């Protein structure tokens, strides 16, 4: 068996935390509660329906391995719809607490979510998903990642890894809230970064306090945290395979899940019919090298995003023709000297003042580099900041980092466990060798190279301050062997602009494989599967369903929008500047959907209220069946165009309909419909004139 891997595919800084989130891993349009949303605008997406139809009459490959009985396992374990995703049937199995010590008799409950094949079962396709570590595989899962042919012939299996969600959860919410309580802390002393002795000592103490509090709160003996590392998670998959009885199966890993998948492949290559790695971590690198490589990759993605804006006429015009990179650098320098006061609007009509710091700028910039869609959303917010409005950047920050904008208190993410993030990383990752104090000193020394506003997105190495003081942290760095996976056909998927798992790492993994194929996007994002792009989606479907491997060892995918989605201009700030009512109403609706509080919402059956940019509010509630209801109360996205009324949104079909009473400069009643097939329909009366569809 290969050594325990480096744990995380995520950027994590002492200043902020970066979970997966739907916009990172889901790549099916825009993530709204875990489903796709498509615009009546050119987003550069490529439709795969034609290819699926072409394959529908092909003969699926006959498995070259013996199949067990998934339904028997479901029946034996009393399978029932998953509590957090009723598309899946959940079963809970008992796995050894320690897979590597036969004398250890204690067990853990591990929950798997299964979507049975719709036609003749050809096997199972297990998902090491969605990443982290700390992401809940079941509540974050979506079947939108798979072609119809895969769903027809394969059981899709998600799971919550040990310590997360439905699988013997470990959590320390009080300690996390205290640890993440410095969102508005400025960095005006010295350079940006931990460059003064006072800053360094404060952060070391904060990490130590968190470690002590989190361990006490989780309530298990310190020596047991080692049982939650990636090597144990990989063996939980093997336990499930044995219970199903399949001789072999296909395994998909994404982001941190590629670490799980690689560890499994190293130990059980004979049990894999095939392996798919998406956003691939190079496990042979030591932890500090991985952290610094991520810094460079985030910088690369940020610069490419600003370059893409300069070649997009709409984006450049939103910046008033200014160079977005120059604006970023000027803003960072200004914020490092003195934060900007931001009056953040609340749904009750009041506002609260918070400083916008250089740390906040770096945090939101990092978060939004993960996907081609989020880069466009980020540029829209940066363009607003260029006009002097920092509320859009603040909205992104609070929504993505899961902070209450009223109090700036960390409220947690219902689909992501930062507790497990630390538990797993600190069991897997080694930040230098020596005693905890020696490790801390080396981490602080290493971090000094990143002080200042350049490099722009830095500080990764400081995440080691927690792990250096964690009880399950290995004392010494252990070298890791490249994955060979002899006899296992393996697709390595990645992108040249992946910030979290840099391209060079995936390429290195491919080069060591016995039967590897490298499929990458020129540009692209973190995780390239499921983006409605024929490359790589059809390659994966052909591999699983029809047994067809690529004819070339290296395949480059070319997406229509490889860096960011084509830019969507916001609605005019003043209704007096509306040139076309239908276009302006469309822009208003898109601005509403793209409000971060709505875009990144993962809560079901809970009413969420959001302050509109000019005045008033809107509220929405999403049901378990992916239907949303909206209510608008004196809501204005443009001065002089005030909306009252209701709306609905079918997330699966993207069908949206709103009935608005309009006031302000003019009076009107409008019915707005968006249908993915017929586009936009607007009818009613406005300014005394009938609006015909």
Evaluate if residue 26 carries a pLDDT over 70: no
> Does residue 10 register a pLDDT over 50?
no
pLDDT tens digits, 647-693: 999 988 999 999 999 999 999 999 999 998 889 999 999 999 999 88
Q: How confident is the model at residue 52 (pLDDT cuts 50, 70, 90)?
A: very low
pLDDT > 70? residue 344: yes
Provide the pLDDT for residue 130: 84
**Locus of tokens 């992108």:** 495
- pLDDT computed for residue 57 by the predictor: 57
Give 35's pLDDT tier (boundaries 50, 70, 90): very low
Beta-sheet pairing, 627-638 with 615-622:
antiparallel
- Distance CA(172)–CA(177), nearest Å, equals 9
Q: Is the pLDDT of residue 37 over 60?
A: no
pLDDT, tens only, 266-287:
999 999 999 999 999 999 999 9
E strands present in 116-219: 123-128, 154-159
Lowest mean pLDDT among 26-40, 135-149, 292-306, 503-517: 26-40
At 95, give phi and psi (nearest 5°): -115, 150
**Is 7 a residue whose pLDDT tops 90?**
no
% of the chain at pLDDT higher than 90 = 80
- pLDDT exceeds 60 at position 39: no
- Between CA 558 and CA 562, with CA 560 as vertex, the angle to 5 degrees is 70
Residue 33: pLDDT over 50: no
What is the model's pLDDT at position 515? 98
Whether 24 shows a pLDDT value over 60: the answer reads no
Tokens of 264: 């499994």
With both helix axes pointing from N to C terminus, report the angle between 358-367 and 324-337 in degrees, rounded to the nearest 10.
140
Phi, psi angle pair for 139, to nearest 5°: -70, -25
Is pTM beyond 0.85? Reply is yes
DSSP string, 514-533: SSEEEEEESS--S--TTSS-
Tell me the C-alpha distance between 142 and 621, whole Å: 20
Segment 633-640 shows an average pLDDT of 98
Average pLDDT, the chain: 90
Helix (H, G, I), strand (E, B) or coil at 94: strand
Rounded Cα distance between 366 and 500, Å, is 10
* Dist CA 294 CA 499 (whole Å): 6
- Please state the three-class secondary structure of 157-177 as a single string: EEECCCCECCECCCCCHHHHH
Non-local CB neighbours of 574 within 8 Å, separated by 6+ positions: 638, 639, 640
Say if residue 251 is preceded by a cis peptide, omega within 30 of 0. no
Distance CA 279, CA 293 (A): 14
Summarised one tens digit per residue, pLDDT across range 150-181 is 999 999 999 999 999 999 999 999 999 999 99
For 335-364, b/e burial (b = at least 16 CB within 10 A) is: bbeebbebebbebeeeeeebbbbbbbbbbb
pLDDT at 459 over 90: no
Per-residue pLDDT, averaged over 471-480, amounts to 78
Return d(Cα 140, Cα 135) in angstroms, integer: 8
Which tops the pLDDT comparison, 222 or 18?
222
DSSP-based three-state secondary structure for 195: coil
Domains of the chain and any CATH numbers: 1-59+79-569 (3.40.50.1820), 575-691 (no CATH)
In order of 142, 303, 537, the CA distances from 25 in angstroms are 10, 22, 15
Instruction: Indicate whether 412 pLDDT > 60.
Output: yes
Q: How far is CA 522 from CA 98, 298, 493, 685, in A?
A: 42, 16, 12, 48
């Amino acid at each position: 068996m290969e050594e325990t891997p480096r744990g995380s595919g995520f950027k994590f800084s002492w200043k902020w935390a970066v979970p997966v989130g739907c916009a990172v891993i889901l790549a099916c349009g825009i993530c709204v509660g875990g489903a796709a949303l498509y615009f009546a605008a050119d987003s550069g997406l490529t439709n795969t329906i034609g290819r699926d139809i072409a394959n529908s009459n092909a003969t699926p490959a006959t498995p070259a391995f013996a199949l067990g009985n998934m339904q028997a396992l479901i029946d034996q374990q009393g399978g029932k719809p998953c509590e957090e995703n009723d598309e899946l049937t959940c079963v809970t199995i008992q796995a050894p607490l320690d897979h590597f010590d036969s004398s250890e008799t204690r067990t853990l409950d591990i929950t798997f979510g299964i979507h049975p094949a719709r036609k003749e079962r050809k096997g199972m396709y297990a998902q090491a998903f969605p990443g982290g570590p700390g992401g809940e595989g079941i509540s974050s899962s979506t079947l939108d990642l798979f072609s119809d042919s895969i769903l027809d012939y394969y059981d899709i299996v998600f799971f919550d890894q040990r310590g997360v969600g439905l699988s013997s959860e470990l959590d320390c919410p009080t300690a996390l809230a205290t640890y993440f309580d410095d969102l508005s802390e400025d960095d005006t002393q010295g350079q940006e970064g931990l460059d003064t002795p006072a800053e360094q000592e404060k952060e070391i103490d904060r990490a130590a306090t968190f470690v002590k509090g989190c361990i006490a709160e989780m309530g298990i003996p310190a020596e047991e945290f080692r049982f939650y590392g990636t090597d144990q998670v990989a063996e939980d998959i093997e336990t499930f395979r044995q219970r199903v009885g399949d001789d072999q199966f296909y395994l998909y890993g994404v982001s941190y899940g590629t670490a799980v998948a690689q560890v499994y492949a190293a130990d059980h290559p004979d049990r894999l019919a095939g392996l798919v790695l998406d956003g691939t971590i190079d496990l042979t690198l030591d932890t500090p090298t991985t952290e610094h490589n991520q810094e460079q990759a985030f910088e690369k993605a940020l610069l490419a995003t600003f370059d893409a804006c300069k070649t997009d006429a709409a984006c450049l015009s939103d910046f008033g023709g200014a160079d977005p990179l120059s604006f970023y650098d000027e803003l960072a320098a200004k914020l490092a000297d003195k934060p900007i006061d931001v009056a953040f609007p609340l749904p009750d009509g009041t506002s609260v003042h918070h400083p916008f710091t250089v740390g906040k700028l770096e945090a939101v910039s990092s978060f939004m580099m993960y996907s081609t869609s989020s880069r466009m959303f980020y540029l829209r917010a940066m363009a607003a900041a260029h006009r002097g409005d920092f509320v859009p950047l603040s909205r992104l920050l609070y929504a993505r980092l899961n902070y209450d904008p009223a109090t700036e208190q960390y409220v947690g993410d219902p689909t992501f466990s930062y507790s497990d993030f630390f538990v797993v990383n600190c069991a897997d990752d080694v930040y230098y060798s020596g005693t905890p104090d020696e490790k801390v000193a080396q981490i602080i020394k290493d971090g000094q190279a990143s002080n200042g506003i350049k490099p722009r997105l830095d500080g990764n190495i400081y995440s080691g301050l927690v792990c250096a003081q964690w009880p399950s942290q290995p004392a010494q760095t252990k070298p890791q062997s490249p994955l060979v996976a002899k006899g296992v056909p393996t697709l390595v998927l990645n992108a040249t602009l992946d910030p979290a798992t840099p391209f060079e790492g995936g390429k290195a993994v491919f080069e060591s494989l016995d039967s590897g194929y490298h499929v990458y996007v020129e540009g692209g994002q973190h995780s390239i599967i499921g983006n409605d792009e024929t490359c790589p989606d059809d390659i994966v479907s052909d591999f699983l369903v029809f047994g067809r491997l690529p004819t070339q060892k290296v395949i480059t995918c070319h997406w229509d929008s490889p860096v960011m989605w084509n830019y969507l201009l916001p609605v005019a700030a003043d209704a007096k500047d509306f040139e076309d009512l239908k276009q302006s109403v469309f822009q208003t609706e898109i601005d509403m959907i793209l409000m971060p509080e709505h875009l990144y919402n993962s809560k079901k059956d809970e009413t969420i209220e959001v302050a509109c940019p000019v005045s008033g509010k809107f509220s929405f509630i999403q049901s378990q069946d992916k239907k949303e209801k909206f209510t608008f109360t004196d809501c204005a996205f443009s001065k002089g165009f005030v909306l009252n009324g209701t709306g609905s949104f079918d997330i699966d079909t993207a069908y949206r309909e709103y009935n608005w009473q309009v006031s302000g400069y003019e009076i009107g009643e409008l019915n707005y419909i968006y249908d993915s097939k017929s586009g936009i329909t607007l009818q009613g009366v406005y300014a005394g004139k009938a609006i015909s569809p």
